[in-house]
Structure 1
Amino acid sequence: MLKDIIFDQVKPAYGCTEPIAVALAVATAKKYLKGNLESIKIILDKNTYKNGLEVNIPGTPFIGLEIAAALAYTCGEAALGLEVLKHVNQECIDTSHKILGKINVDVDKNYIGLKVNCILEGENKVNVIIEGTHDNIVHIEENGNPIIDKPFEKGGTLLESIKKYNIDNFLEYIENPEKEVIELVEKAITINTEIAKKGLKTPGNFGNILNFEPVNIVQAAVDARMSGELLPVMTVAGSGNQGLSCTLPLIKIGEKYGENKVKKAILLSMLITIYIKSYTGVLTPICGAGSISSAGASAGIVYLKGGSAGQIKNAINNVLSTLFGLTCDGAKKGCALKAGTGTFVALQSAELALNNANIPCGNGIAAKDVEETIKRIGKLTLSIKKFDEDVLEFIGKC
């Protein structure tokens, strides 16, 4: 089961996954459209809308959900899933601008969760709905006639299934994972390292501001991704920034350790990140890269350095108890600094745990048992959902 969960939650993607979900819906719908395009209407949950407003679309200097939809209609390939915009080029960009006036994007502020409702009209009318996760197509219909209809049920998802396990189970699993899982980790190492290198070579990239590894490589990669670099990233629990933040620190620190141990540490970091996200939800008002994947990274660091199971749990507790209040105010270049902050705290928390210095139970949200802290994080995330709606008033406005 853990293998299935990992392959469901760890996937390569080009660009920020929220506008990419929009692109995937449009690219899927266009396969069924007849005649010339008359209009594209997209209705989004507030989180997806929030994360698509100010982030660059891969392969372009442009931001926004409309351009993501236009590119998807022009040259998107639905069969590529989250890599739907892999083949964006200048011709595609030029052509896409001709249909921008036909695209309307709206937000459903009442819906809780992830949902992309896409309607294309030409000689016929095609409706595609993605729900629950960024590539989970639950409904396709043409002129009101269903082609695919598999309603989303939160309780039945693989993300929810990880709640059947605990951190001790993860520590046992990483010692003998399936060959295919290790190959996926190896791919994550390769592609996430590549975009970090690209970011470090780019003038003005946030990764070039500090001379403090591994923080700077995380910032370099996240900045490059948010700035529209046309390179893939291995996402974890629906987010490329989470994927970068829970792997790159371990890749850098792991240079001092054996290759096999580094892969196990990264796998642990991924599992912890997915596990926490199962309680908070895929899209939240809390910064996943800054607070959640950094907890995974901290666990991996302690594992690399030979820490005990108790010390690994304490490292996770330290991070979550420190960074829970770091909010997500939309995807953008500044996410690099939040991810860097999370990495710095992950390093601190790991060293504290290795020296048996931990945030005591009862200090704020910290519980004695890290599993309980994670459950508290989930509950508190629900309590601040209104943040996602309120922040929309400010995004993109100077």
Structure 2
Amino acid sequence: MSYTIKDILRMQVAPALGCTEPVAIALAAAAAASLLPAGDIQRVELWVDPNIYKNGLAVTIPGTGGLSGLDTAAALGCAGGDPTLGLEVLAPVDEVVTARAMALLDAKLVTVNLLHDQVGLFVRARVERGGANAEAVIEVVHDNITSLSLNGEAVTGHPLLGSDVAGGKSELAEMESWLKERSLSELIELLDGLDDEDLAFLEEGVQHNLRLAEYGLKFDAGMGVGKTLDRLVRQRLLTRDMIQAAKILTSAASDARMGGVKLPAMSSAGSGNHGLTAILPIQAVAEFAECTDAERQRAIALSHVVTAYVKAFTGRLSAVCGCSVAAGAGAAAGVTLLLGGGAQHIAGAIKNLTEDLAGVICDGAKAGCALKLATAAGSSVQAALFALQGVNVDSGDGIMGVSPEQTMQNIGTLSTQGMIETDRTILRIMLEKQFSDV
């Protein structure tokens, strides 16, 4: 089976309100609660894989006035989340819903269990209400509900159910297997299938992420990385060139998103921050380049495709910062295409970016991610500019491959094999800090 650019965009790019790890938790809890009769929640229990735990531990949840935590996400999902909205499940959250969720937490009705040996994205939520209990399981993808049950009996044919991974590969896994067999030239050729509907969808993603950036530049959100960089430019301590513009726009959007602003991001490969990194550096560079809207949108499409390609090798969640090595590589490819580069230049840009940022770890979603997104955005533009000037990392260096495909595959090997113990160590440090504060 082969796939088109439309298929890839459909499966890899979607609006997401809030960090996708607590969102997945809220979605599972909301889905389970939706099966139950009305009444007061009696108990909520949660089981999650280590990377969901790591990424959902400290990030602010939108609409809550600054609350965070996996238990909080589950309580919010039960108290008022709308599971039919998918990754925007928390859109209905307001002060009333937050108060209900806090009551559940204060009564110690929410329990979170870490599945230390679980491999791959996994969330299981069990909710008790009205003398009944229901469960929902999410696997592989943040919004992929693979099973629902009510009082121990499987619920089939429910509209909330996604791909059935128990019977074989999910649709996403099939697509990623196909994607991993493509060459860079074939990935670029996919762009020829873009139609007006695709371009409009890509532009919708730009507008979602620009709204977050505009909020981050206007208000004190998150760490204020983007706003600070912008201030330094205004003070003439920095110069607003392509690289700085990309850093400002991307980090400002991350400031807003990680700060819990109730605005959706257009995600890429299952992550809102990936979506910010894949889109906004290209948008920033377009302000300096002579290009049409269609050319800009085409470059963003390539960025999403390359991001998806790298994530197919690294997995949805890992010890390596995907914003750096996956979305960063996508942005580098897109910027290069936007500035007139061909396949050889794009290959060079991806390798330049990988050499620069391959060692950046993921230590969970939090306000400080804005710093990493600033770095990834700036490095993606620099990698593209270097490649266009003939400056390329040698294939014999470090983990570089003889081809861009091999280089991206090596990143996957580094993530899935080389950094398993690193991931455990990161989580152990985070858990020690969490429980030492209790």
The answer to whether structure 1 residue 84 and structure 2 residue 116 are counterparts is no
Corresponding position: 1:281 with 2:315? yes
CA distance 1:154–1:378, change in 2 (3 Å): farther
| Match in the other structure for 2:178 | 161
Q: Equivalences for 1:311-322 in 2 at 5 Å? A: 311-322=345-356
In the alignment, which residue of structure 2 is the partner of 1:254? 286
2:42 aligned partner = 38
Amino acid at match of 1:119: R
**Unpaired runs of at least 5, structure 1:** none
Picking from 138, 154, 159, the partner of 2:146 is 138
Q: Percent identity?
A: 37
Q: CA–CA distance in 2 between the matches of 1:179 and 1:237? A: 22
Question: Aligned pair in 2 of structure 1 residues 11, 78: CA closer, same or farther (>3 Å)?
Answer: same
- TM alignment of 1:14-25, pairs within 5 A: 14-25=17-28
Equivalence for 1:94: 99
1: CA distance, partners of 2:379 / 2:99? 43
Q: Which residue number in structure 2 is paired with residue 117 of structure 1?
A: 124
1:51 counterpart = 2:55: yes
Please give the alpha-carbon distance, in whole angstroms, between the structure 2 residues aligned to 1:377 and 1:240.
Answer: 21
2:30 to 16, 27, 39: 27
Are the aligned partners of 2:8 and 2:305 in contact in 1 as well (CA < 8 Å)?
no
Let me know the Cα RMSD of the aligned residues.
1.6
Distance 2:170 2:407 in 1: 21
Task: Give TM-score, length-normalised by structure 2.
Answer: 0.88
2:32·2:135 contact (CA, 8 Å) conserved in 1?
yes
Please say if residues 175 and 264 of structure 1, whose CA atoms lie closer than 8 Å, have aligned partners that are also in contact: no
Q: Does 1:303 align with 2:337?
A: yes
Selected match of 1:330 from 364, 384, 393: 364
Deviation at 1:155, TM superposition (A): 6.8
Deviation sequence 1:161-205 (CA, Å, 0-9, x none): 322433212222223413322121011011111110000112251
TM norm structure 1: 0.96
SS in 2 for 1:214: helix
Distance of 1:169 and 1:323 partners within structure 2? 25
Find the aligned partners of 1:381 and 1:356 in 2 and give their Cα distance: 29
Correspondence for 1:8 among 2, 11, 26: 11
Deviates more, 1:264-273 or 1:203-212: 203-212
Conservation of the 8 A alpha-carbon contact between 2:18 and 2:62: yes
How far the C-alpha of 1:67 sits from its partner, in A, is 1.3
Q: How much does 1:388 deviate?
A: 2.3
The alpha-carbon deviation at position 301 of structure 1 amounts to 1.0
Correspondence for 2:241: none
Partner of 1:151: 165
Matched, 1:207 2:226: yes
**Residue 194 of structure 1 corresponds to which residue in structure 2?**
211
Q: How many equivalent pairs are there?
A: 398
Paired AA for residue 278 in structure 1: A
Structure 2 residue aligned with 1:357: 391
**Residue 129 (structure 1) aligned to one of 130, 133, 137:** 137
What SS does the corresponding residue of 1:139 show, helix, strand or coil?
A: strand
What do residues 2-38 of structure 1 show as CA deviations (whole Å, max 9, x unaligned)? 3222201100010000000000001100111235321
Distance in 2, Cα, partners of 1:18 & 1:338? 18
Q: CA deviation at 1:92?
A: 1.4
Of 222-231 and 31-40, deviating more is: 31-40
Q: 1:384 is matched with which residue?
A: 419
